[in-house]
A and B are shown apart, each in its own frame.
Chain A
Amino acid sequence: MFPLRTILIIPIMSTALWAGQVQVGSDYHYITVSEGLEASLSGDTVLVHPGTYVESGLIISHTLTLLGIDNPIIDGNHSGEILTVTADDVRIEGFTFKGSGLSHLEENAAVRFEETRGGRVSDNTFEDNFFAVYISKSEKCIIENNRISGLAKTESRSGNGIHLWYCKDITIEENYIEGHRDGIYLEFVEQCVVTHNHSTKNLRYGLHFMFSNHNEYNNNQFDKNGAGVAVMYSRHVDMHNNVFADNWGSSAYGLLLKDIYDSNITDNQFNRNTVGLYSEACNRIQVEGNNFENNGWAVKIMANSMDNVFTHNNFLANTFDIATNSRQNFNAFNQNYWNRYRGYDLDKDGIGDVPFRPVKLFSLLTEKNEPTLMLMRSIFVEIMDLAESYIPILTPATLIDAEPLMRINP
């Protein structure tokens, strides 16, 4: 179909320089992007030459490639949505999109894909948008190598950087995102891969899953967000090789888990967070090979979490290693390295001969009554913790690592 159509069209359309190409720019026939899009046919490439185009409400309703040459700017001038895509296999590459409209009734985005397949958004810059990239009811799309920055420093009415709603099979790769509400937000999303992104300085979360099963995120960096990552009401989420760092504040967590089942958390770094990993009502999660370093609380695991397994993790220089809110414990801790462990290894098999109790009595008290944190460094608390560690009465009797490692996991 394609060659035949272009052969027919070339003589007719004198404005098209090449078969299947539409040129947009001040020196070309089409001066605005919207004119260029209107003149294009399915399968065309719309080439946009350098310049600033103050346009919004652009619509792509047939398959095409929208290609920016030397980074042209499309400025939405804060009115409505900038670009809406309703066709399959649309590619958008090489632009700066700025100033999508801010409304609390409409979720306006710089680029929105609505009920499409096979779209691709790559190598763009997004600045000062309400939502930057919004993918709705779509599948098999790729969002890669974009630089997304919002202005949500303290502004509570800000949208998300990359927002997925009812999507399937989407790849989010190598993006840099800052200054939005959530850097990346996924709601009702399946089979997505979020990899090699850096999400930082967002108001709420670097990455946020809601009601999204069978997803994976790996090799990302989440730092200085309101809280690093929140995974909520989801199953089968694979989380590995990520960095969760520098999330400080009263409700700040490196990784916040709520109502999560059958997932893996492996080989991640949790550094300098108020709470490294917080788990509430989570079941059957394998937590393995992670590094918890310099956190206020490395792990807070609420009593309604069950059948979770912590093994081969390193706990280094945290104020509290494990905190919980009950004497009950239905989780297993095995063969972790605890820098606070003071046991011995007479048979030299690398495993401590006496079990380690990671829950301090004091951490249990602070969990029930936060103001007691004031007593943190007092001698009374030290004595209490010491006494409790020899004869446990209040701390969970079954929350022990029976085989603490003598040497740090590599």
Chain B
Amino acid sequence: MERQAVTMIKSMAPISVLLMTILVISCEPAVQAINYGKDGCSYCRMTIVEDLYGSELLTTKGKAHKFDSIECLAAFVIKDEVATEKIHNLYFTDFEEAGNLYPLQEMIFVQAKKLKSPMGLNLSAFRTQKTADDVALLYFGETMTWEQVKTYVETAWLK
């Protein structure tokens, strides 16, 4: 991104265009890394410690709400803590690649009673359909879409 900006700056002489470019770049919300063991969950207030389940909601203004589990992010969304039109995107940890966050559109969710998540609803996220299917089979669970996850969290937690 930075190098792109630098080449842009070189190629575009007019200062107004340059300023615009910088503005546009800095306004595009960027996913923020979760500081495990330090950051707190925006929904349940717990310190986020397990790098297999960290999730994030990014607002259009670039504010990151971090969560210790998929269920906390789902509950946060269901409760409209941030208005829908102000949500830029949601991000989840791929269970196979802990530590990195990937956008909602790439994720397949698994709810499996033998794979415990931090807040007890046993949800995990994967980017490959096959792994998700395998895990669901191995740990007595099922794969879910994000809509199904929200319905499940709503009935299990919020009634």
The answer to whether A251 and B49 touch (CB under 8 A), given A105-B115, A154-B37, A156-B36, is no
The answer to whether A256 and B50 touch (CB under 8 A), given A251-B38, A251-B39, is no
Tell me which of A46-54, A115-123, A226-234, A352-360 binds B.
Answer: A226-234
The answer to whether A249 and B38 touch (CB under 8 A), given A187-B120, A210-B120, is yes
Q: In the bound complex, how far is the Cα of B68 from the Cα of A203, in angstroms?
A: 14
Are B120 and A211 in contact, CB atoms less than 8 angstroms apart? yes
Q: Which of B37-57 contact A (CB under 8 A)?
A: 37-41, 44-47, 49-52
How near does chain A come to B69, taking the closest CB pair, in angstroms? 12
The answer to whether A181 and B120 touch (CB under 8 A), given A226-B37, A232-B44, A250-B40, is no
Count residues on chain B whose CB falls below 8 Å from chain A CBs.
Answer: 19
Are B52 and A250 in contact, CB atoms less than 8 angstroms apart? no
Count residues on chain A whose CB falls below 8 Å from chain B CBs.
Answer: 26
Are A226 and B52 in contact, CB atoms less than 8 angstroms apart? no
How near does chain A come to B107, taking the closest CB pair, in angstroms? 18
B116 within 8 A of A: yes
A262 within 8 A of B: no
A-side contacts of B39, CB under 8 Å: 250-251
Are A227 and B47 in contact, CB atoms less than 8 angstroms apart? yes
How near does chain A come to B47, taking the closest CB pair, in angstroms? 5
Are A157 and B51 in contact, CB atoms less than 8 angstroms apart? yes
The answer to whether A156 and B37 touch (CB under 8 A), given A181-B49, A187-B120, is yes
Q: In the bound complex, how far is the Cα of B47 from the Cα of A252, in angstroms?
A: 8
Are B49 and A156 in contact, CB atoms less than 8 angstroms apart? yes
Partner of A204 from the list B46, B98, B115, B120 (CB cut-off 8 Å) is B46
Q: In the bound complex, how far is the Cα of B40 from the Cα of A256, in angstroms?
A: 12
Q: In the bound complex, how far is the Cα of B98 from the Cα of A202, in angstroms?
A: 21
How near does chain A come to B154, taking the closest CB pair, in angstroms? 16
Partner of B45 from the list A154, A156, A181, A251 (CB cut-off 8 Å) is A251
A140 within 8 A of B: no
The answer to whether A250 and B116 touch (CB under 8 A), given A156-B51, A157-B50, A204-B46, is no
Are B49 and A104 in contact, CB atoms less than 8 angstroms apart? no
A-side contacts of B41, CB under 8 Å: 251
Closest to B48 in A: A251
Residues 226-256 of chain A: 1 if any B CB is under 8 Å from the residue's CB, otherwise 0? 1100101000000000000000011111001
How near does chain A come to B92, taking the closest CB pair, in angstroms? 16
Q: In the bound complex, how far is the Cα of B134 from the Cα of A105, in angstroms?
A: 13
A107 within 8 A of B: yes
Q: In the bound complex, how far is the Cα of B93 from the Cα of A156, in angstroms?
A: 14
Are B46 and A230 in contact, CB atoms less than 8 angstroms apart? yes
Partner of B52 from the list A104, A107, A280 (CB cut-off 8 Å) is A104
Q: In the bound complex, how far is the Cα of B38 from the Cα of A256, in angstroms?
A: 15
How near does chain A come to B50, taking the closest CB pair, in angstroms? 6
Q: In the bound complex, how far is the Cα of B115 from the Cα of A107, in angstroms?
A: 10
Are A204 and B116 in contact, CB atoms less than 8 angstroms apart? no
Q: In the bound complex, how far is the Cα of B46 from the Cα of A203, in angstroms?
A: 12
Partner of B49 from the list A203, A211, A250, A258 (CB cut-off 8 Å) is A203
Are A203 and B37 in contact, CB atoms less than 8 angstroms apart? yes
Q: In the bound complex, how far is the Cα of B50 from the Cα of A203, in angstroms?
A: 11
The answer to whether A107 and B45 touch (CB under 8 A), given A156-B36, A203-B37, A250-B40, is no
Q: In the bound complex, how far is the Cα of B41 from the Cα of A226, in angstroms?
A: 13
B-side contacts of A261, CB under 8 Å: none
Are B49 and A226 in contact, CB atoms less than 8 angstroms apart? yes
A-side contacts of B116, CB under 8 Å: 107
Residues 46-88 of chain B: 1 if any A CB is under 8 Å from the residue's CB, otherwise 0? 1101111000000000000000000000000000000000000
Closest 7 CB pairs of A and B: A251-B40, A156-B36, A226-B47, A156-B51, A204-B49, A204-B47, A251-B47
Q: A157-B51, A187-B120, A232-B46 are in contact. List 6 more A-B contacts (CB 8 A).
A: A104-B52, A105-B115, A105-B139, A157-B50, A230-B46, A250-B38
21 pairs from A and B in contact (CB 8 Å cutoff): A104-B52, A107-B116, A154-B37, A156-B36, A157-B50, A187-B120, A203-B37, A203-B47, A204-B37, A204-B49, A227-B47, A232-B44, A250-B38, A250-B39, A250-B40, A251-B39, A251-B41, A251-B45, A251-B47, A278-B45, A280-B45
Question: Which positions in B face A, CB cutoff 8 Å?
Answer: 36-41, 44-47, 49-52, 98, 115-116, 120, 139
Question: Which positions in A face B, CB cutoff 8 Å?
Answer: 104-105, 107, 154, 156-157, 181, 187, 203-205, 210-211, 226-227, 230, 232, 249-253, 256, 258, 278, 280
